[in-house]
Structure 1
Amino acid sequence: MPTIDPTRFTDAILRRPARSAVNGLRAVDIGAPDIDAMMGEHLAYEAALGELGVQTHVLPALEDFPDSVYVEDPALVFAEGAILLRPGAPSRFGETAEIAPVLRERFDTVIALDKGFSDGGDILLTADKVIIGLSARTDEEGALALAGALSKLGYDSATVSPPEGVLHFKTACSLVAPDTVLATRQLIEGGDYFGGLRVLQVPDGEEPAANALCVNGTVLLAQGFQNTAKMLRDEGFAVRELPLNETMKLDAGLSCMSLRWNRVA
């Protein structure tokens, strides 16, 4: 596997939220998002990436796919190429075909999976491997197919089984530095998923904050999780809080709003 810093990015693909996102997937229904406010959150996210040195490529909304703003779920991207995934929710089956031509324009190598189901929200890239979490959206057949595709790009992988109740693996964890993971108590107590990585626990009651996103030395964190923000700052991290109230009404967080890679010069 190539030596990488999995928190360094030069480019990101985003997709604008559709008006149909009011019908997006949600494991817990706390109401439909306000789409105008959600668009404001998306613009703030795009601006933050740009200010952190990432060149953003923004795709138009897809009204036929309410969850298509979450571009990380139907694909994975690396400097070496892209992998077209197979999202596990029926309403998202067509999203891979929509993102495929975009990726083929940008990457010489694009591998399409043809077995099982795999969602980008279940996949965590670390410095030495790609961790694939099994879930209701990623099954064993899909994980096996994904592992084979990753191997073709030169990446090692490991498949893990998070505790019951974890929607996506990255719902409960994220990389906040190349050697440090932020994770919920549920995930930490459920098993050893991270090998030798340092693990910080999200303060109890702030579990949604586990889906943070480290970009070029700054941890992006959803607003409203002050204990998590303080803990990270006390640990020496640069933290930037972003509005995410409407986005988080759906099965989503910071990581799934973009496809990110580090371009080889």
Structure 2
Amino acid sequence: MTSPATHFTHAISRRPGQSVTGGLRAEDRGAPDHVRMLAAHDNYIATLRATGAEVTLLDPLEDYPDALFVEDTALCLPEGAIMMRPGAPSRMGEVAHMRPTLAGLFADLRDITGPGHIEGGDILYTGREVLVGKSARTDAEGVAELRKILDEWGHSLRELQTPDGVLHFKTDCSLLDPETILSTRLLDSEGCFDGYRVLHLPEGEEAAANAIRFNDVVLLPDGFPKTAEMLTREGYDIRPIDNTDCALLDGGMSCLSLRLNPTK
């Protein structure tokens, strides 16, 4: 059985530009290697397309070093798409560049107008509800505005708190299927996932938490053998993707795409 939270006909991604080396990061662990990042991105796109999905690949935005992390610009649901309002000032302009693409795919396109802020990386849609973690990039006002739209569309929103030191809610979790969450023990200890089956990241491999279920495969950051073994044992078909350079910018598997089922 398929779910609109895990099965998609389309995805949108954006090529990393040369300016990505100046992207935001919580901790400076060095600049990403643009050539290596492009190769990893090619693998990412090829993996999505291999599931049968149509992938729209957008050109780089050199004025926006973090624009490859398209997930933060919008939330795509079965009823339509909602344009976000990023909490990082340098990323605010990315939303306008994404709007025309989504306008061609959704009949109902809404906007978070502010004054609050919210980013897609803080939102986990499970099929039965929308989990939103407040963070340094997502505030209560942004969540409240999103709730009004979701109420109209018949979705339940549960407001949570992303732990201190964690950039986005989905930095520490991902949806493996409508009933199962992959999570760090830290995030799960907040009681975020009551009612779900939770698989904890093995100790020392917490950085593998941001994976994506896309149709019948799970895209997982490469280099985390215990996590890969656990998910394989649980019956998931995993596809390891090099995330070395995105991780330097606090990015992961979900950040690199918008996954959707168009209404147009």
TM-score normalized with structure 2 length: 0.96
In the alignment, which residue of structure 2 is the partner of 1:71?
Answer: 70
After TM superposition, give the deviation of residue 154 of structure 1 in Å: 2.8
| 2: CA distance, partners of 1:162 / 1:12 | 26
| 2: CA distance, partners of 1:138 / 1:225 | 29
Q: Please give the secondary structure, in 2, of the residue aligned with 1:73.
A: helix
Query: Percent same amino acid at aligned positions?
Result: 47
The answer to whether the aligner puts 1:188 opposite 2:227 as a matched pair is no
For 2:186, the aligned partner's letter is Q
In the alignment, which residue of structure 2 is the partner of 1:24?
Answer: 23
After TM superposition, give the deviation of residue 213 of structure 1 in Å: 0.6
After TM superposition, give the deviation of residue 147 of structure 1 in Å: 1.2
Q: Is the 8 A contact 1:5 1:178 kept in 2?
A: no
After TM superposition, give the deviation of residue 80 of structure 1 in Å: 1.6
After TM superposition, give the deviation of residue 235 of structure 1 in Å: 1.5
In the alignment, which residue of structure 2 is the partner of 1:100?
Answer: 99
| 1: CA distance, partners of 2:118 / 2:147 | 11
| 1: CA distance, partners of 2:183 / 2:145 | 26
| 1: CA distance, partners of 2:59 / 2:142 | 28
The answer to whether the aligner puts 1:145 opposite 2:121 as a matched pair is no
| Structure 1 residues 15-94: aligned runs within 5 Å | 15-94=14-93
In the alignment, which residue of structure 2 is the partner of 1:236?
Answer: 235
Over residues 73-125 of structure 1, what are the superposed CA-to-partner deviations in whole Å (9 max), with x where a residue is unaligned?
Answer: 01111232110100101110111111112211221111011120001000000
Distance 1:134 1:149, change over 3 A: same
**Unpaired segments ≥5 residues, structure 1:** none
After TM superposition, give the deviation of residue 208 of structure 1 in Å: 1.1
| Structure 1 residues 174-213: aligned runs within 5 Å | 174-189=174-189, 191-213=190-212
For 1:10, the aligned partner's letter is T
Q: Please give the secondary structure, in 1, of the residue aligned with 2:107.
A: coil
For 1:163, the aligned partner's letter is P
Q: Please give the secondary structure, in 2, of the residue aligned with 1:72.
A: helix
For 2:79, the aligned partner's letter is E
**Unpaired segments ≥5 residues, structure 2:** none
Q: Say what the alpha-carbon RMSD is for the aligned residues.
A: 1.4
The answer to whether the aligner puts 1:159 opposite 2:162 as a matched pair is no
| 2: CA distance, partners of 1:33 / 1:249 | 6
Range that drifts further, 135-144 or 242-251: 242-251
After TM superposition, give the deviation of residue 264 of structure 1 in Å: 5.8
Distance 1:85 1:251, change over 3 A: same
In the alignment, which residue of structure 1 is the partner of 2:168?
Answer: 168
